[in-house]
Homo-oligomer: A and B are copies of this chain.
Amino acid sequence: MNDVSKKAEPGRRRDSIAEEAAEIKAMRAETQPTRRATVPALEAVLYEPIPVLDSGFVRVVDYLGDDTAIVQAARVSYGRGTKKVSDDRGLIRYLMRHRHTTPFEMCELKLHVKLPIFVARQWIRHRTANVNEYSARYSVLDREFYVPERMAAQSETNRQGRAGELDPTESDAARALIQGDGDRAYGTYLDLLNETEGGEVRDPSRKGVARELARMVLPANVYTQWYWKVDLHNLLHFLSLRADPHAQYEIRVYAEAIGAVVQKWVPITWEAFEDYWTKGARLSAQALRLLKTMLAPGVLADEAKLEALRKESGLSQREFLEFLDTLKRGE
């Protein structure tokens, strides 16, 4: 993990890091009164960079709505939420369970993210979001490249996955190669731009290649930045895919950092999301068929025992009936 605030870097970056820290401090110092729905737990971390990978971060820049806003929209009501928190929780869980997704679109999160380009390329595939990326046509990129701490080997069984770490010797050699290539590429980049590390003209007799062309030599592990704004429903969908064990590690750590933010922001929704999505499972018709053959003989007929098991599981009566229906389906 990096320490965003203290990191020292060569050339132009050093000044801008201090400036950025000052701007963040200034924004955190100010508060205004608002009549809008407000979440103190999220206000507490507003604007603060949360470190991810070796030089990346996620910062919450703004948000709209909270758990009660979901209830308010679902009911198309005039006030906020219901009278009791327990009613709000019941409704949110019902909406999540039955895929009534539109009320979750009524909350919005805006993040500032710093991430390697190959991660950005996976991330941008989620189309239902708003993005403004740092422009390498307009500005010069910093000398910042992601280098994995411990390199992973190619999986033999899963063509698109990893299988364990490399041994330290091979790993260190790979890290050195990646680091060396990044440095060399950045050297070429400055050379094409005809600029020094500090942003001065290098050779006055040359014109320098246009920024929009020079950038093409930079590798996919160079860091970029963007503002990314998304509604809660689409954010949860993003997290369900990108915090999944099948996702590439380098995007998963961003998804996990954002998940922790969402939990602060809309705790009731997050709990429902975990119960019904990430910690639940989808079973195919075939798997359901198999499951039925694995049950203890007579268990579905023993109502007293079933009721005891249900209580232990935490399942509500209503969900329990839906569950039994699922088990009996296709008989």
Residues of B within 8 A of A146 (CB): 216
A7 on the B face (CB < 8 A) = no
Contact with B along A279-304 (1 / 0, CB 8 A): 11111111111110111110100000
A110 on the B face (CB < 8 A) = yes
CB distance from A18 to the nearest CB of B (A): 11
- Given A36-B62, A220-B220, A293-B309, CB of A208 within 8 Å of CB of B283: no
Closest B residue to A127 by CB, please name it.
B127
Instruction: Report Cα–Cα, A219/B184, bound state, in Å.
Output: 12
A253 on the B face (CB < 8 A) = no
B73 touches A154 (CB 8 A): no
Q: Tell me how many residues of A have a C-beta within 8 Å of chain B.
A: 146
A12 on the B face (CB < 8 A) = no
Instruction: Report Cα–Cα, A220/B212, bound state, in Å.
Output: 11
Please report whether the interface of chain A is mostly helix, strand, loop or mixed according to DSSP.
Answer: mixed
A106 touches B229 (CB 8 A): yes
Residues of B within 8 A of A188 (CB): 177-178, 181
Instruction: Report Cα–Cα, A252/B184, bound state, in Å.
Output: 30
Interface residues of A, Cβ cutoff 8 Å to B = 19-20, 23-24, 26-28, 30-38, 40, 43, 46-47, 61-65, 69, 72-74, 76-80, 97-99, 102-103, 105-106, 108, 110, 112, 116-118, 120-121, 124-125, 127-128, 130-135, 137-139, 146, 148, 151-155, 159-163, 166-167, 170, 174, 177-178, 181-182, 184-185, 188, 191-193, 206-213, 215-221, 225-227, 229, 231, 241, 246, 248, 274-276, 279-291, 293-297, 299, 306, 309-310, 312-315, 319-320, 323, 326, 329-330
Besides A34-B34, A138-B159, A152-B210, 11 more A-B contacts (Cβ < 8 Å) are A31-B33, A31-B35, A32-B34, A32-B36, A33-B38, A153-B209, A178-B216, A284-B315, A286-B315, A287-B313, A291-B291
Could you pull out 30 A-B pairs where Cβ atoms are within 8 angstroms?
A24-B79, A32-B34, A32-B36, A35-B46, A63-B64, A76-B135, A76-B227, A121-B121, A124-B124, A137-B161, A153-B208, A153-B209, A154-B209, A161-B210, A162-B213, A170-B206, A177-B188, A177-B192, A182-B217, A220-B220, A275-B284, A276-B282, A280-B282, A280-B288, A281-B283, A281-B288, A282-B283, A283-B326, A287-B313, A290-B315
